[in-house]
Amino acid sequence: MIVLPRFEKASFDNYECTTNEQQRLVETLRRGVQNGFDRNIVILGSVGTGKTHLAFAVKNALSKVDEFRGMKFYTDDRCAYMTAKTLIDDIHEAWKDRDCENPVYKLTKTDLLILDEMGLSQNERTELYDLINARYERCKPMICISNNTKTELQKVLGQRIYDRISGGAEFFEISGESYRQKVA
């Protein structure tokens, strides 16, 4: 994926922790980057609390950056980041266009998959189930990020996906004001 200017420099060091829960999350993610992630991590929280920032702190630590025709791309397959929407769009694209590689194959293999803005319609659940199940069967970790509460997440992911993601997972709930408003 291309390097996003907003998160290009995102790291654990430039993430400000104001709550114990944020501290606990940063420590857990740092440990994961250092030693590998041995379980799924679910990060829930209100808007602008730095969930995506931390996702890229992980990605920037694990992925290398390459430059091609003036554009910067992440090249490392150790960690993939996608929003649920872009993943679903890419899956649909692959169905339409035979030359387009189905992302599910690659994302089953990547060491760590970070899925942001998790929330799925009924059809999307069916489309994503194979990937979630394939990673579950291979004991490959995921970091799932959402604005929903735990109860809401259960509903928007459906039982089968939620069960596979949440079983043995470590949950973090980040609350607080939006950092975007602070900066502005």
Ligand X SMILES: Nc1ncnc2c1ncn2[C@@H]1O[C@H](COP(=O)(O)OP(=O)(O)OP(=O)(O)O)[C@@H](O)[C@H]1O
Partner whose binding site includes residue 50, from Mg ion, ligand X, none (CB under 5 to 8 Å by kind): ligand X
Quote the CA–CA distance of 32 and 112 in Å, as a whole number. 10
Q: Given candidates 52, 60, 63, 146, which one binds Mg ion under the rule CB under 5 A?
A: 52
Q: Which is nearer to Mg ion, 52 or 60 (CB)?
A: 52
CB of 155 to ligand X, least distance (A): 18
Q: Which is nearer to ligand X, 8 or 66 (CB)?
A: 8
CA triple 131-142-48, angle to 5 deg:
115
Restricted to residues 104-123, the positions that interact with Mg ion (CB under 5 A) are none
Residue carrying structure tokens 């649909």: 92
Beta strands 65-68 and 142-146 are: unpaired
Q: Are 140 and 37 in contact (CB under 8 A)?
A: no
CB of 147 to Mg ion, least distance (A): 8
**Binding residues for Mg ion, per CB under 5 A?**
52
